[in-house]
Structures are given as structure tokens and as C-alpha cells.
């Protein structure tokens, strides 16, 4: 076995054995906290010694990462595996490391000297989407130890605000992100003096971070519906341009789409509980289910409504979909097969504008243009309920 090969453990039970002081002999016993502490220091030290300005020696700042000739070869040449590992996983080790002064010293050095260089590596290696979560880990660790987290919080805001452009073009760390960082921000005060030849904002620059962290641009029509995936890592959007797009919530990059198939405005989108599927409802009267990664249609078009579909939602277990329509009815569908399993649920006298399952999946709540809210049972006695009334109105 080569010393640079990756060591892989075949079964979790072996890991459990190695960290169990009762079962494992002292010779082989592993203390997870001590090992994570060791890895944290090693990662921070490797970044201190290995990160630098323009790490891949790019000749021009005019090209996006994807347009740089031989970018994969450049990355392989200039960013060795141990440096890449350190950039990707230092926060994972830090999370399980006891608070200590040595770690704080290395982290202060990272925050004050290597932060921008670290962003270069994440951008070039297409891993920028991990930056925000890693910085939140840093913030939590510093807070738990009673240490100052001002710089770490400012770094997180920098990433949230400029992540979209940095993830696409590494030179924009210095060309646009740093110059446009608010004058009073910790990142600006720390790093701008080191780059006197870059763009300067003479008038109109912000002094504090804006409330809006990111603006996602791409649709060609009004956006009618947006939602986060359960873990908060993805955003789905539905638009009058008849498409659905899936975005990275941290960087603002489009990760899937435009998803095409609807022939009318997409009024409603929702993620499945596991984040793997997206359901959409449209004024073409249909519902479609999409693979959130590939953008492929996995069910549908689901047909049954005879007017615009205004709202759709998954059940908590992801097995059913509920839809509300301008035809005043609610329908329930099998999320895998697309078959109707309940409905039309009747009772509303106006457009059904909103539908949702209860947390236990046993009830459906709906809101309508008839000024009422109704709660229906989502339990079916047979495989299909062809027509059910929903007669419990709450007026508002």
C-alpha cells in the first residue's frame, strides 16, 4: 500500500470497536476528540503553508473558471490532494475539537491572512457551496469557547453576498467582491490595504452589509413560487416563463434547469422531504414531478384538474402529493406512479390557492378565494376515493 493511498474502512462496526475503550486494546484505541484536534491543526497548518495569491498562476482575469484552458490540469498541478483535503474538511474536524488556544492562534491566522486564498481553492475545485456551512461551524466553535467571532461572521456575510460570482470566476475575489465589500466590514478593513491596485469605489459604496444576501437571476418571466429544500441547501423556483430552476442556496448558481415541460405559467413548486424530487403545478392544468438533480420528469404530467393548478405540496413521507386548483377542487396523487388516490375533494366555492399536509400526513388544509379555510381527512379506506366532500370551513 502506497503511503498516499486512501485508507477505507469497510464496516462501521470496526470504527465502533476502535473508539471503544472497553473493547479495544490500548495499542489500537483511538480518541476521536484528540484525533480531530490533531487533524484540525494539521489542516490549518497545511493551509497556512500552502495557500497563496493566484494559486493556479492564471494569466488573465477575464475568463470564467469554465473557460480557462486546461483548468483541471492546472488545479491538479498546483493544489495537491493534502491541501485540497485541508481546505474541504478543516471545519469538520474543528467541530469535534475541544476549544484550545493553539487552535485559536491558527484560526486567527487563517481568518486574517488566508481567507481569500481559501476561497480561490474552493472556487477552482467547484466546492464553493461548502464555504458557508464551514464558516458557520467556525462561528459556533468560537462562540462555544467564548472567543471573538466578529471576523468569522463577516467572512460568512462576504461569502453569502459574493458567492455567486466567486464560484464562477476566481479572480473576482479581488476584482469585484473585495472592492464592493462594505467599507466598515471586517473583511474590507483587513484585506483591502493589501490590494491597492484593485478597483476603488469613490461614491455610493455601502458602509454596512445589506440585508439581502443574494439575488438569483435567470428566469425570463415573473417568479410565482419559491421554496427551500429541507436541508436548506437548494432553492426551487417556478416562473411565468414556464420553467423551474434549482439553485444552490449558498452560491446562487443554477444547479438544475431550466426544467421544461409545462406549457403555461408555473404557479407552485415544492421539494419532497428528502430533497430528491420537485413537484410543480401550472396553468396548463397539469402537475409534474421532477428529479431535483437531473431535471428529468419522473412522474406526469398528472392530469385531472380542469383549470389552473395553483398550489402543490408533498406529504411528510413523500409518498403523496396534494394539489389545489381554480376548478375549486383538491386532488391527492401517488408521488411515484402519478395515479390519483383521492379526489376531487369538494367544498370550496372559489379557487383553491393553497394546500398543505399536516405533519402526520393525516389531514389536508386548504385556503381559497371563497374566503374560507377547510380541513379534510387525507386517510383513504380503499385505494381510490373518487369524490369526497371537504365541508369544515373556517371563515376569515
- In degrees and rounded to multiples of 5, residue 33 shows phi and psi of -65, -45
How confident is residue 267, by pLDDT bands cut at 50, 70 and 90? very high
How confident is residue 8, by pLDDT bands cut at 50, 70 and 90? low
Torsion of CA 186, 189, 191, 192, to 10 degrees: 140
By mean pLDDT, which of 12-16, 62-66, 115-119, 215-219 is the weakest?
Answer: 12-16
The predicted-structure confidence for 346-394, as pLDDT tens digits, reads as follows 889 999 999 999 999 989 999 999 999 998 888 653 333 333 455 555 5
- Confidence at residue 378, expressed as pLDDT on a 0 to 100 scale: 80
Residue of higher predicted confidence among 334 and 389: 334
Pairing of strands 340-346, 388-389: parallel
- Confidence at residue 64, expressed as pLDDT on a 0 to 100 scale: 87
What are the boundaries of each domain within the chain?
12-194, 223-395
- Confidence at residue 62, expressed as pLDDT on a 0 to 100 scale: 84
How confident is residue 91, by pLDDT bands cut at 50, 70 and 90? very high
As a residue count, the chain comes to 396
Q: State pTM to two decimals.
A: 0.68
Beta bridge partners of 281: 268, 287
- Confidence at residue 384, expressed as pLDDT on a 0 to 100 scale: 33
Q: How far apart are CA 49 and CA 76, in angstroms?
A: 18
In contact, 274 and 285? CB cutoff 8 Å: no
Query: Which residues, including other chains, have CB under 8 Å from residue 252's CB and lie 6 or more apart?
Result: 163, 164, 167, 214, 215, 216
The yes-or-no verdict on residue 143 having pLDDT over 50 is yes
Write down the CATH number for the domain with range 223-395. Answer: 2.130.10.10
Q: How far apart are CA 65 and CA 125, in angstroms?
A: 10
Query: Which stretch of DSSP H or E encloses residue 296?
Result: none
315 CB neighbour count, 10 Å cutoff: 21
- Confidence at residue 388, expressed as pLDDT on a 0 to 100 scale: 46
The yes-or-no verdict on residue 185 having pLDDT over 90 is yes
- Confidence at residue 186, expressed as pLDDT on a 0 to 100 scale: 93
The yes-or-no verdict on residue 115 having pLDDT over 70 is yes
- Confidence at residue 396, expressed as pLDDT on a 0 to 100 scale: 45
**Angle at CA 37, nearest 5°, toward 31 and 42?**
125
Pairing of strands 320-325, 309-314: antiparallel
Amino acid at each position: 500500500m502506497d503511503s498516499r493511498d486512501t485508507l477505507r474502512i469497510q464496516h462501521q462496526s470496526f470504527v465502533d470497536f476502535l473508539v471503544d475503550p472497553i473493547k479495544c486494546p490500548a495499542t489500537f484505541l483511538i480518541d476521536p476528540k484528540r484525533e480531530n484536534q490533531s487533524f484540525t491543526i494539521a489542516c490549518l497548518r497545511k493551509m497556512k503553508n500552502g495557500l497563496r495569491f493566484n494559486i493556479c498562476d492564471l494569466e488573465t482575469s477575464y475568463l470564467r473558471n469554465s473557460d480557462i484552458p486546461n483548468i483541471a490540469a492546472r488545479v491538479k498541478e498546483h493544489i495537491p490532494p493534502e491541501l485540497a483535503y485541508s481546505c474541504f474538511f478543516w471545519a469538520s474536524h474543528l467541530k469535534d475539537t475541544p476549544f484550545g488556544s493553539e487552535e485559536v492562534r491558527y484560526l486567527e491566522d487563517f481568518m486574517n491572512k488566508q481567507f481569500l486564498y481559501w476561497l480561490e481553492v474552493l472556487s477552482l475545485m467547484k466546492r464553493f457551496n461548502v464555504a458557508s456551512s464551514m464558516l458557520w461551524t467556525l462561528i459556533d466553535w468560537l462562540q462555544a469557547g467564548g472567543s471573538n467571532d466578529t471576523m468569522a461572521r463577516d467572512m460568512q456575510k462576504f461569502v453569502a453576498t459574493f458567492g455567486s460570482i466567486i464560484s464562477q470566476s476566481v479572480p473576482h475575489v479581488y476584482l469585484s467582491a473585495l472592492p464592493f465589500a462594505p467599507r466598515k466590514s471586517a473583511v474590507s478593513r483587513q484585506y483591502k490595504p493589501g490590494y491597492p491596485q484593485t478597483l476603488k469605489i469613490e461614491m455610493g459604496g455601502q458602509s454596512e452589509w445589506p440585508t439581502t444576501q443574494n439575488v438569483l437571476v435567470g428566469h425570463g418571466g415573473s417568479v410565482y413560487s419559491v421554496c427551500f429544500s429541507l436541508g436548506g441547501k437548494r432553492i426551487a423556483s417556478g416562473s411565468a416563463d414556464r420553467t423551474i430552476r434549482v439553485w444552490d442556496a449558498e452560491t446562487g448558481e443554477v444547479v438544475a434547469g431550466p426544467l421544461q415541460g409545462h406549457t403555461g405559467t408555473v404557479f407552485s413548486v415544492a421539494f419532497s422531504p428528502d430533497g430528491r424530487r420537485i413537484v410543480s403545478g401550472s396553468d396548463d392544468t397539469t402537475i409534474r414531478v421532477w428529479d431535483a438533480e437531473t431535471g428529468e420528469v419522473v412522474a406526469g404530467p398528472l392530469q385531472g384538474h380542469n383549470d389552473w393548478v395553483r398550489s402543490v405540496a408533498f406529504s411528510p413521507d413523500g409518498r403523496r402529493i396534494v394539489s389545489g386548483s381554480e376548478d375549486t377542487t383538491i386532488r391527492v396523487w401517488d408521488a411515484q406512479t402519478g395515479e390519483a388516490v383521492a379526489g376531487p375533494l369538494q367544498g370550496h366555492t372559489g379557487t383553491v390557492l393553497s394546500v398543505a399536509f399536516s405533519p402526520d400526513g393525516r389531514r389536508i388544509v386548504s385556503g381559497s378565494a371563497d374566503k374560507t379555510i377547510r380541513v379534510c381527512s387525507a386517510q383513504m379506506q380503499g385505494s381510490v376515493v373518487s369524490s369526497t366532500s371537504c365541508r369544515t370551513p373556517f371563515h376569515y
